[in-house]
Amino acid sequence: MTTGGSNFWTSGSVPLIEPEFLGSIIGAASDIALVVSAQATILSVVINSNDDSFGNLKHWEGRPVVEFLTEDSINKFKIAHSEYLSGTAPRKPMELNHSDNAVWQYPVRYTFHRFGHEDAVLLLGRDLRPIAETQQQLVQAQIALEQGYEARREYDARYRVVMANADDAVVFVSVQTGRIDDANVHAAALLGLKAEALTGATFASLFSDRSGSELIESLINATLSDDAHPVTVRATRTRQTLTIEPFVFRAAGQRVLMCKLKNDVRTSVAPNATASHAAALFHQTTDGIAFMDTRGAVLSVNTAFLDLVGAAHMSDIVGNTLSDFVARGQIDLDVLLGNTGKAGQMRVYSTKLVNDLGGRVPVEVSATRLDDPENPVVALIVRDVSRLEGVRKSEGASALQEPRNNVMDLVGSSSLKDIVAETTDVVEKMCIETAVSLTKNNRVAAAEMLGLSRQSLYVKLRKYGLLAKE
């Protein structure tokens, strides 16, 4: 459109641009512009006047484009140029790598444009070197991070190996929060918990005779004094008297206490022959010995008990309930706790111990309640009776001989059906009475012990007149 003899833009139209101004406009719109003939010869090179990194490229004019392309870019350009000549100019930008006498190389992103000069093409290019440099920096940063992570993983692996194989019981405690950052299995065994359960727990809560601020202050003071003695504490769960040897250091701007825990045998074991013999028996006997609280949580076990359940470390047992290791689970535990709570002890209770692999070991358990006014516990002696199973079966066959003779006396006086029914009822009633007695009349537990449903048990209780039994 013309107004006053002047051309101007309207409705998307572009006015005619004087030739002397066209080069500067193209140079400003791109970093580098090439006019390439149908024979792929460079007719003209225009460089952005604000960018002197390209240098003088006038020697490119009149020479084929491929002379200034790297090998990986030559075929890419030929394909795109052929498509342009066929009338289908590439819609997407194309990245080409330039080279000039092998002195320098740089990537450029080009777009193809028609401008009405026969089959010549205008290539407007954007220098990708800043992007490439940024990408390279990101790659180098990523490599540095990966190297840092790998080094950290290596140090962490070394740390874990040292913690797992150290002979000392070690706990790391944050001075600021008073919580445990890490602990090994030896410390867990002394404190009566699993190592995973210790992480994040308040350190002072594991001891019955120290408050949080008092304990941390005592440990800090012990690290500052040259003649300070280890801090003595009493473990809440295991009731052992322990000594703590602290060492303070700084990590990530925070102070951390490394505490070595030791079992103070001199204070926890009375210096007399009976106590010494009892301690030796606990560790050396072939029978399993375990101590649990009145809720069934295991406080400590000996090596023989570990062997029976196939556990590698005491921390695998301590802190769990006994029901996790017996065949009938909570039923066995309730029977043991119920009888010891009422009578103070229970003799020769038969059950089976279960290990992590699903194996079952037949055992006989004797339980005794130890009435400590502050912390009552139940002591268990567990004996492996798997070798006696065969003997008992033989003895059982002999013991049945006498009832067999009595049954033989009934032959001829009653029908076979009546004889079998009568003897079956007697045995069934005895088994039900035993189960009800062991479970303290807990019908649900008795049914599970007998392998019956509750409905079936009630039917049989009514049948034998045991329904009202308390």
Residue 24 CA: distances (Å) to CA of 51, 54, 55, 306: 13, 16, 17, 88
Residues 440-452 as b/e (b if ≥16 CB within 10 A, e otherwise) read eebeebbbbbbeb
Residues forming CATH 1.10.10 domain(s) in the chain: 410-463
What pLDDT is stored for residue 25 in this prediction? 65
Class of the domain covering 284-390? alpha beta
What pLDDT is stored for residue 267 in this prediction? 43
Strands (E), 212-297: 231-234, 241-251, 254-263, 288-293
- Tell me which residue of 55, 54, 76 sits closest to 65, measured CA to CA: 76
d(CA 238, CA 236): 6
What pLDDT is stored for residue 46 in this prediction? 83
Inter-residue contact 399 to 405 (CB < 8 Å)? no
Region of residue 294 (phi > 0: left; psi between -120 and 50: alpha; otherwise: beta):
alpha
Assigned fold of 2-127: Beta-Lactamase (3.30.450)
What pLDDT is stored for residue 2 in this prediction? 45
What pLDDT is stored for residue 30 in this prediction? 79
Q: Tens place of pLDDT for every residue, the chain, 470 residues?
A: 444 444 444 555 555 555 555 555 665 667 888 888 889 898 888 887 777 777 778 888 899 998 889 888 889 899 888 888 888 777 788 888 888 765 567 788 898 888 766 778 888 888 888 887 888 888 888 888 888 888 888 888 888 888 888 888 999 999 999 999 999 988 888 888 888 888 899 999 899 877 767 888 889 888 887 776 788 898 888 788 899 999 999 987 889 999 999 886 544 444 567 777 888 888 888 899 999 988 899 888 888 898 888 887 787 888 888 988 988 888 888 888 888 888 888 888 888 898 777 778 888 999 999 887 777 899 999 998 887 765 555 555 454 455 555 555 555 445 666 666 666 766 777 777 777 777 767 777 777 777 788 787 777 777 767 766 55
d(CA 214, CA 209): 10
Phi, psi dihedrals of residue 382, rounded to the nearest 5°: -115, 120
This model's pTM is above 0.85: no
How many other β-carbons are positioned within 10 Å of the β-carbon of residue 146? 10
What pLDDT is stored for residue 339 in this prediction? 86
Inter-residue contact 369 to 358 (CB < 8 Å)? no
Inter-residue contact 264 to 241 (CB < 8 Å)? yes
What pLDDT is stored for residue 270 in this prediction? 44
Alpha helices in 86-128 (DSSP H): none
| CATH superfamily placement of domain 166-268 | PAS domain (3.30.450.20)
Q: Does domain 410-463 have CATH number 3.30.450?
A: no
| 340: enclosing H helix or E strand | helix 330-343
Q: DSSP assignment, residue 234?
A: E
What pLDDT is stored for residue 260 in this prediction? 93
Residues forming CATH 3.30.450.20 domain(s) in the chain: 2-127, 166-268, 284-390
Helices 389-399 + 401-410 axis angle, to 10 = 30
Q: Which are the contacts of 399, defined by CB distance < 8 A and separation ≥ 6?
A: none
